[in-house]
Amino acid sequence: MKIEIKYFASIKEWTGLKKEIIEVPEKTTVEELRKIIVKRYNKLDIENNLLVAINGSFVDLKEIIKERDEIAIFPPVSGG
């Protein structure tokens, strides 16, 4: 299935993209998507730091992605 991913902050910088459409297998989980993105952009050190939101809410790594989901990828949040 094809999904659209939007990238934010430093993730947008290292992908060089604001968004893209990629092909993933049916029933891909958030955890699997993070691995796909890390492999795609050869950023093996960042996988555990990717925050994923689906339809405006941060989700569990076991969440299954559906074709029409709005997916956003963020770096870890920090602040004071």
Which pLDDT tens digits describe the chain residue by residue (80 residues)?
A: 999 999 999 889 888 999 999 999 999 999 999 999 988 888 756 667 789 999 999 999 999 999 989 999 998 876 55
21 CB-near residues (< 8 Å, 6+ apart): 2, 3, 4, 5
Could you tell me if 55 and 69 are in contact, meaning their C-beta atoms sit under 8 angstroms apart? Answer: yes
The sign of the dihedral angle between the CA atoms of 20, 21, 23, 29 is positive
Helix (H, G, I), strand (E, B) or coil at 62: coil
User: What domains lie within the chain, and their CATH numbers?
Assistant: 2-74 (3.10.20.30)
Distance CA 61, CA 41 (A): 20
